[in-house]
Amino acid sequence: MFKLNLKIALRNLWRHKTSSFINITGLAIGLSACLMLMFYVSYEWNFDKQAKDSDRVYQMMTNITDNAGAITFTFNGTTTALGSVLKQAIPEIEIASRLSYGRINLIANGQNSFKKTACFAEPTLFSMYDYHFISGSPATAMANPRSVVLTETMAKTLFGTADVTGKSVRYDDKEDLTVAAVIKDLPENSSNRFDFLMPWSLYTILDPGAREVGWSDFSYLTLVKLRKGASAEAVNSKLGPLLKRYNNGDQQHFMYPLSRLHLYGTFEQGKSVGGAIEQIRLFVILAVGILLIACINFMNMATAKSERRAKEVGVKKTIGANRLSLIMQFLTESVVLAAISVVIAIALIELCFPMFNNLLSIKMDIGYFGFEIWAVIIGLVMLTGLIAGSYPAFYLSSFDPISGMKKKTRSRGFFSVSLRQVLVTGQFCFTVMLFISTIVIYKQIQFIKNRPIGADINALVELPQDGSLKDKYEVFKTMLLRSGAVTSVTHSSVTLSHHGSNFMGITWPGMTKPANDVMFNQVLAGYDYIKTTGIKMRNGRDFSEKLASDSASLLVSASAVKVMGLKNPVGTSVKVFDNQFTIIGVFDDYIWDAPNKSNNPMVIRLDDGVPGTIVMKLNADRSFQASIETINSITKQINPAYPVELKFVSSVYADMQHGEKILGILSNLFGGLAIFISCLGLFGLVTYSAEQRTKEFGIRKVLGASVFGIMRMLSISFIKMILVSICIAVPTAWMLMNKWLGKYEFHTSISWWVIGIAIAGTLLTAILTVGVQAYKTATSNPVDSLKYE
């Protein structure tokens, strides 16, 4: 029986090529879109879940509180003292590991030098992640402070082979390290990624901050692993009383599962309120929605051509088929169709995947040799087949034999037509909603993009202050200015687009509390900082080389002045970490870290010796290309060991909206696909409707109906359905997108023109789709129509 059903299914597909094409194209696009989105969802979902004990690994988090004790900010930075205190005092904690944030540093094998992600960690990290050691072992990899663990790709990049244990590499053009181990590359969906890992013991030699075990610098990460069966809640409840002994309870810490941090990493009042998971949910809805649209096409086409199948059902029932066997036959057909579509879908995915990865700036990989992937694909085929085929199967198999053979299926038609209308309406509802969402997301991205940064980033370039650029900064600056490539040069502890160090150790005159509890951001900068970056000054002036007193001076942001409540800030003396400073200028708050939210108060302190980032203003009178070449050449001359990594600050700011950009790209791409599939289905339905009414239109034309009249008759019912969809979709999308926008502190609004464009766009596409077929029908020769039947 199955063989026979399969035969009928394949022959049916071959005979009815138009509907097969529409169904297969729709389902193939739907399945490929769904699979691609699901791969992405799975990639995001499995973030930090690769290690077998990942459920026992926790990230230590820090809460920052305000005057009233309310939590204002939560982040993953911790102090150097926290890890060892936790390990000693809390028995449930099996191990703790301090590690640095991943940072880009130089690593070289002779002249072969590369800037790659470096990380320092304690050896206990190996017990938290299941790194696969190609050579070396976890026990010995960090025994020597001057050792390094390379990933396989890093080893091959440096030496051309992974067999490099015992060889020497140079770190940051300063330290010679021995390769103690080579490990397999870390999964892309891992939070603490690195290309090379060095022992914490080396960090304590190189970095004074890491050396000092204290409670004031939050520049380090702490991971803990609980013993089997230990309760995280119980441990968290012990943290408060324990930490009170060390820092008077000023610091609030809690453990948060590392495997949840990526998806649920947004905190409000110290509690997780979501994060990337919201986007993931959206993508799941998008994936299911697109597949459903394709399934609806199949259902509609199948029921629309029910008259053709009615005879078959009638005959089969007459000669002994029962309903179940017919249901099985129709389900076989839809599963066969889904199976053919998935083959095309996989080909499409293969074709588009590199582009998809590129668009999202990720490196996903489809493991075709894994069992899971085929289980998912086969499961999806079966599910799609069942969803798409269930309604036609139950509908078609319900025909009674007599009316089936007489092709009188319209007696049951009322229900079927209404359901078809509901399905088309639902399909277009989703499409219109996607249309509106796409425009709103685009508008929000543009809104943020156009939000004044507060600095003049036009023609501003930056360069990491590595190697000799640290010691020879003045020479470098002089050469650059003399070359005419730039008009101004400065340097600072961090890039303009990034926060500096968070601190609370500041006091000012008129302070009502014994200690400040507002988190401030501090950036250390050299001379000409304001001049180069174009940060807008409200009062006062930039640092000046001519005034020796400026070494104890401070620039503060407008929000800092507000927090301090200073009426005449310029000239006021404030204390930062026990050092007295005089405010010489007030600047407008500018954007760093996230362009869609306001930042905490900020101070800029003069420190001309601090290495970080060199910022340059290109000479507007010269070609940028020539200036960049000059900068490259001078940089290479002064700092030959390092590659030149010049970046336009404007592109750094543009990259800040990565998450929104992904959302924009995906909603554009998949919204477009949804519209295409919906229109494909609409085209199929109109074609069948025209076919069914061929005779009627022939008679009407003979009796004098105009081409427009017939086009209107054929199109009107479909256009009505689209109008109903619009009526439902517009308020729903309005509500949902307003909610989405509400998440952003700075957000655009949904203007009426957005709705107008969505309505006009959908209607125009639908009218064009329907119109083409309607015109073809309306202009056909009535004599041919009347020959029909």
Partner 1 sequence: MIRIENLEKVYKTEDIETTALNGINLHVKAGEFVSIMGPSGCGKSTLLNVMGLLDKPESGSYQFLDTELLKLNDKERSNFRKKHMGFVFQNFNLIDELTVFENIELPLIYNKVPSAERKVLVDEMIDRMNIHNRSGHFPQQLSGGQQQRVAVARALVTKPKLVLADEPTGNLDSSHGNEVMELLCELNEQGTTIVMVTHSSHDASFSNRIINLKDGCVISEKINKSRTEELI
Instruction: List the one residue from 112, 140, 231, 322 that touches partner 1 (CB under 8 A).
Output: 322
Closest CA to 286 of 433, 405, 504: 433
**Distance in Å, CB of 338 to partner 1, minimum:** 19
Q: Note whether 317 binds partner 1 by CB under 8 A.
A: yes
Closest CA to 356 of 42, 27, 673, 662: 662
Q: Note whether 319 binds partner 1 by CB under 8 A.
A: yes
Residue 557 CB-density burial (10 A; 0-12 exposed, 13-18 middle, 19+ buried): buried
Instruction: List the one residue from 257, 314, 467, 671 that touches partner 1 (CB under 8 A).
Output: 314
CB under 8 A: which stretch of 10-18, 139-147, 631-639, 748-756 binds partner 1? 10-18
Q: Note whether 310 binds partner 1 by CB under 8 A.
A: no
Residue 15 or 132 with smaller CB distance to partner 1? 15
| Opening angle at CA 267, ends 266 and 271, nearest 5 | 135
Residue found under tokens 């920052």: 64
Distance CA 516, CA 508 (A): 9
Residue 321 or 606 with smaller CB distance to partner 1? 321
Beta-strand runs (E) in 611-680? 613-618, 647-648
**Distance in Å, CB of 10 to partner 1, minimum:** 9
**Distance in Å, CB of 393 to partner 1, minimum:** 17
Q: Using CB under 8 A, which residues numbered 365 to 424 contact partner 1?
A: 400-402, 405
Q: Which two tokens stand for residue 337?
A: 């169709």
Pairing outcome for strands 602-606 and 520-525: parallel
CB under 8 A: which stretch of 175-183, 309-317, 531-539, 632-640 binds partner 1? 309-317
727 sits in the region (left: phi over 0; alpha: psi -120 to 50; else beta) called alpha
Contacting residues for 576 by C-beta, under 8 A, at least 6 apart: 503, 505, 506, 522, 554, 603, 605
Residue 247 or 325 with smaller CB distance to partner 1? 325
**Distance in Å, CB of 319 to partner 1, minimum:** 4
Q: For 100-116, give the DSSP string.
A: EPPEEEEEEETTEEEEE
- Please tell me what DSSP assigns to residue 625: H
Distance CA 650, CA 20 (A): 50
Radius of gyration of the chain (CA): 33
Q: Note whether 1 binds partner 1 by CB under 8 A.
A: yes
Instruction: List the one residue from 320, 367, 452, 510 that touches partner 1 (CB under 8 A).
Output: 320
**Distance in Å, CB of 389 to partner 1, minimum:** 17
**Distance in Å, CB of 699 to partner 1, minimum:** 23
Q: Note whether 658 binds partner 1 by CB under 8 A.
A: no
Contacting residues for 572 by C-beta, under 8 A, at least 6 apart: 508, 509, 566, 582, 583
Instruction: List the one residue from 184, 311, 499, 541 that touches partner 1 (CB under 8 A).
Output: 311
CB under 8 A: which stretch of 311-319, 417-425, 517-525, 707-715 binds partner 1? 311-319
Residue 305 or 617 with smaller CB distance to partner 1? 305
Distance CA 756, CA 759 (A): 5
SS (H, E, C) 452-484: CCCCCCCCEEEEECCCHHHHCHHHHHHHHHHHC
Distance CA 42, CA 786 (A): 56
Q: Note whether 11 binds partner 1 by CB under 8 A.
A: yes
Residue 8 or 346 with smaller CB distance to partner 1? 8
**Distance in Å, CB of 313 to partner 1, minimum:** 10
Closest CA to 504 of 197, 79, 154: 79
Q: Count residues contacting partner 1 (CB under 8 A)? A: 23
Residue 403 or 501 with smaller CB distance to partner 1? 403
Length of the chain: 789
Amino acid at 364: M
- Please tell me what DSSP assigns to residue 642: S
Backbone angles phi, psi at 175, to 5 degrees: -115, 130
Residue 8 or 206 with smaller CB distance to partner 1? 8
Q: Note whether 18 binds partner 1 by CB under 8 A.
A: no
**Distance in Å, CB of 335 to partner 1, minimum:** 17
755 sits in the region (left: phi over 0; alpha: psi -120 to 50; else beta) called alpha
Over the window 615 to 634, marking each residue x when it contacts partner 1 by CB under 8 A and - when it does not, the resulting string is --------------------
Residue 237 or 318 with smaller CB distance to partner 1? 318
CB under 8 A: which stretch of 317-325, 374-382, 440-448, 543-551 binds partner 1? 317-325
CB under 8 A: which stretch of 2-10, 254-262, 664-672, 686-694 binds partner 1? 2-10
Q: Using CB under 8 A, which residues numbered 81 to 120 contact partner 1?
A: none
**Distance in Å, CB of 317 to partner 1, minimum:** 7
- Please tell me what DSSP assigns to residue 270: T
**Distance in Å, CB of 337 to partner 1, minimum:** 15
Which spans of this chain sit near partner 1 (rule: CB under 8 A)?
1, 4, 7-8, 11-12, 15, 311-312, 314-322, 325, 400-402, 405
